[in-house]
Amino acid sequence: MAEVERDLATGVQTTGHEWDGIKELNNPLPRWWLLVFYACVIYGLGYTVFYPAWPSLSGYTKGILGYNSHADYYTDAAAAAEGKKQFTDRIETLGVDQISQDPQLLEFSLAGGQAVFNENCAQCHGVGGQGLRFYPVLADDNWIWGGRLADIEQTVRHGIRNADDPEARQSLMPSFGVDGLLDKAQIADVTEYVVSLTGAEFDAAAKDRGAKVFAENCVVCHGENAAGNKELGAPSLTSNIWQFTGDRAAFAAHINAPRHGVMPAWQGRLSDDLIKMVTVYVHSLGGGQ
């Protein structure tokens, strides 16, 4: 029989375990702790009797009360939808310009549009429309396709350069270098001309040669003053706002072989009222025209 060891200071029996000279006393658990523990056990068992709990091969135990959290959710969702119906019904029958002039509908659309934007658009355009790398900023006043409510709605509904919607906005800048439309010297010169539009230092002689190349090849889309053309989706080259990067190397690379982004058409993915709401929200971000 093992010898019972007691702590000299307290007279309490030890467990026989020792760690680095420290011995554990074999004190009983506090009564309050035991009572709480047993109460939790009883409560847990009772919960499984009254509420859905145990899985089985055919489903799960339903519980005496027959409670169903899914039913609660659908009831609450239906009540919420009914509460919004007075607004969504009006939004479906009005144009975006009319919605923006109605204080109640405007407030409702801004709140709902923000939720739609955060769920569907922020992955590319960033929360608040501040833009992510290679994706346009929506919070400034530089619009490639126009910043009026009707312009934004068109873009949201039909997208840009996607093959799924015949009404999608289309614009393709030629690959001047890859397709042999310009040689390397001409690309270098027109790059220098674009650099001169940004206010950065430039080679004057190359800039003058590049201006001629620009006039012969680029004016038709970007305009004589390089301010862009929203009808064609040709961006301004004078705003110092760049979707990619605004340095000499980036300009040359883009002229040689431009990158073309694609935006999906949201018509058919979002309901008509949600498209109008997110249109109003995007217009409010700071750059709406």
pLDDT digits (tens, 9 = 90+) for 14-66: 888 888 888 888 888 999 999 999 999 999 999 999 999 999 998 999 999 99
pLDDT digit string, tens, across residues 233-251:
999 999 988 888 889 999 9
**What is the rounded average pLDDT of the residues 93-120?**
96
What's the whole-number average pLDDT of the chain? 92
Closest CA to 61 of 47, 74, 72: 47
Residues 153 and 240 in one domain: no
Residues 135 and 152 in one domain: yes
Please give the C-alpha separations between residue 31 and each of 12, 34, 35, 39, 176, in angstroms, as whole numbers.
17, 5, 6, 12, 85
In a domain, 177, yes or no: no
State the pLDDT at residue 2.
Answer: 62
Residues 135 and 159 in one domain: yes
Range(s) of the domain holding residue 223: 184-256
287 or 16, which is more confident? 16
Residues 40 and 77 in one domain: no
In a domain, 179, yes or no: no
In a domain, 5, yes or no: no
State the pLDDT at residue 3.
Answer: 73
Whether the model pTM is above 0.85: no
State the pLDDT at residue 78.
Answer: 92
Residues 208 and 245 in one domain: yes
Residues 96 and 216 in one domain: no
Residues 131 and 273 in one domain: yes
Token pair belonging to 93: 């029958």
In a domain, 289, yes or no: no
In a domain, 176, yes or no: no
pLDDT digit string, tens, across residues 74-86:
999 999 889 899 9
Confidence of residue 93 (pLDDT cuts 50, 70, 90): very high
**Statement: residue 288 has pLDDT above 70:** no
In a domain, 173, yes or no: no
State the pLDDT at residue 1.
Answer: 47
- Look at the chain and report how many structural domains it folds into: 3
Residues 159 and 191 in one domain: no
**What is the rounded average pLDDT of the residues 120-128?**
94
CATH number at residue 152: 1.10.760.10
Residues 273 and 149 in one domain: yes
State the pLDDT at residue 6.
Answer: 83
Please give the C-alpha separations between residue 179 and each of 13, 66, 142, 161, 255, in angstroms, as whole numbers.
91, 70, 30, 20, 11
Residues 77 and 154 in one domain: yes
In a domain, 178, yes or no: no
Residues 246 and 199 in one domain: yes
Residues 249 and 278 in one domain: no
- Residues composing the chain: 289
